Amino acid sequence: MRLQSRVWALMFIGLGLAGLPATAAMEAARPPMGWNSWDAYRFTLDETAFKANAARLAELRSYGWTYVVIDEGWYMDNPRGTNLAERRYQLDAGGLLIPSLKRFPSAGGGAGFKPLADWVHSRGLKFGLHIVRGIPKQAVEANAPISGSAFHAVDAADTAETCPWDDGNFGVRDNAAGQAYYDALLRRYAQWGVDFLKVDCISANPFRASEIRQIHEALRKSGRPIVLSLSPGPTPLAQADFVRRNAQMWRISNDVWDGWRLDGDQHPSGFPFGVGGAFDNLAKWNAFVGPGGWADADMLPFGALKPSPGWGEPRDSRLTPDEARSQFTLWAIARAPLILGANLTELDTATLSLITNRAVIGINQTAYASYPIALPPGLENIRVWQAFAGHRARPVRYIAIFNLDDKPAHLSARWAQLGLNGRPVVKNLWSGAVRSAASELSLDLAPHGSVVFRVE
């Protein structure tokens, strides 16, 4: 084992992460960065579109963008169907989902996603899949044998536990048959070369602790470092220690879409959730993030959300340039995973400029601590986050300031009120401008605008 790996291993033990598969924890030593197909394609992604997006991401790999994830529906012959019968799930004889050959032809001959994963790996990227937790209803109806065991699908299925918004699966029982099913599933994904697994309908509505444990155990047995991402949210804060022990990412809200405030902000379901609500969510979870485990504030709905987005009509993102910059800045300084949702084949100049700012990405990937700063009364619509990177004895400091108001804001504050001492010289990481030493900061912010400084 290399020295760096030993250092990470000691850090994970110190953080109470010794129960995680060490290789998976090391894979998530930093917040994962990549692309997911849901925001642009919903169920409809095919192999051609996937390769086109992955090839574009490979061009951005030097900035840290690594994972390419096929979201829900890769096993549907007819992804535009309105129910289970119309969508025509594809399963093998053992009751495990397989890629639709109509959409992913390289999966033929029983190869599954291995050829596609090999293609991804050859470009220096990592391959990810989405599943809905549970066992396919079709497998239970056929009472398919569970590979590597004496059990059958009916032994593993919890037919009383279904996902409220997906009609394809039954839950999995907390018994030996259920564990055998997940063992077979993750063994298959390890054989395919999967590096990232997003499991849905498991972290909220309902929270399925038993299935999270089973998947965690199956991943450990698989022998492959597969990052586990739990979805959707909000994950119960009371389960923070549990999800950190059993996964590397967990969603802290329902789906975030391209609006500052959306209906879900005030709705019990939390769907769709606006960018503005993420400030409080990330603050609540801040104490639980660090190497090996990250609070997932959801994807970045930038750029072209088409041809078939997971919510709404095909469109370009409705976030203003200031809102998109504020979202990226917040996710970066709060050390949330950075997962792009845009159709990368239609990447516009503004979005490209946003997601290739090495200095802002560097905060996300190198900071060892970050936290929100409490402000005095009268600044309720201003939020401030501070982060620290580099050597702990002489850290590099960053400070981000956000205007949550719908109108422009002027901020005049002593540096001490913002968590800084003396008269610092600060560099704006978006504009490159340097502010010389002064006793206080005077700043104008656009509606939902922000600024992020490196303290020189």
Domains of the chain, start order: 20-366 (3.20.20.70), 372-455 (2.60.40.1180)
What is the spatial distance between Cα 264 and Cα 317, in angstroms, rounded to a whole number?
18
What is the spatial distance between Cα 20 and Cα 55, in angstroms, rounded to a whole number?
32
User: What pLDDT is recorded for position 404?
Assistant: 97
Residue 34 corresponds to which tokens in the numbers above? Answer: 């990549």
Residue 447 corresponds to which tokens in the numbers above? Answer: 């509606």
Residue 405 corresponds to which tokens in the numbers above? Answer: 């108001």
User: What pLDDT is recorded for position 8?
Assistant: 41
User: What pLDDT is recorded for position 346?
Assistant: 98
Question: Residue 188: CB partners within 8 Å, gap ≥ 6?
Answer: 96, 112
What is the spatial distance between Cα 48 and Cα 220, in angstroms, rounded to a whole number?
32
Residue 226 corresponds to which tokens in the numbers above? Answer: 């597969």
Low-confidence ranges of the chain (pLDDT < 70): 1-23
User: What pLDDT is recorded for position 12?
Assistant: 47
pTM (2 d.p.): 0.94
227's enclosing H/E stretch is strand 227-230
Instruction: Tell the residue number behind the tokens 């987005």, with chain if given.
Output: 309
Largest CA distance in the chain: 73
User: What pLDDT is recorded for position 22?
Assistant: 52
What does DSSP assign to residue 144? P
